[in-house]
Amino acid sequence: MLSKSEIAEIVKKYGKDEKDTGSIQVQIALLTVQINELTKHLKNNKKDASGRRGLFVLVGKRRGLLDYLNRKDRDAYVKLLAELGIRK
């Protein structure tokens, strides 16, 4: 679970301003942080089936947003992949 300060930091870094929580880049960055934290959790708790399902849901949401960003703004897509370290 992300704290409010962590969320605010991500929004500030990837959004246009502090209140830009809805932009695609911010949503993808927040999902990436959640995916990374859940992945760490699942490495320690291998039998957490509901957590694994939650991870698959988050990855699917992020995939859809990345596809949308790729269609709408290819340059922003490539830049965001590089910043977040998401391999494609």
Q: What is the pLDDT of residues 38-71, one digit of tens each?
A: 999 999 999 999 999 999 999 999 999 999 999 9
Closest CA to 16 of 28, 6, 7, 24: 24
pLDDT of residue 88: 58
pLDDT(1) > 90: no
pLDDT of residue 87: 80
Q: Residues 5-25: what's their mean pLDDT? A: 93
Closest CA to 23 of 33, 13, 36: 13
Closest CA to 29 of 50, 12, 51: 12
* pTM attached to this predicted model: 0.93
User: What CATH code would you report for 4-84?
Assistant: 1.10.287.10
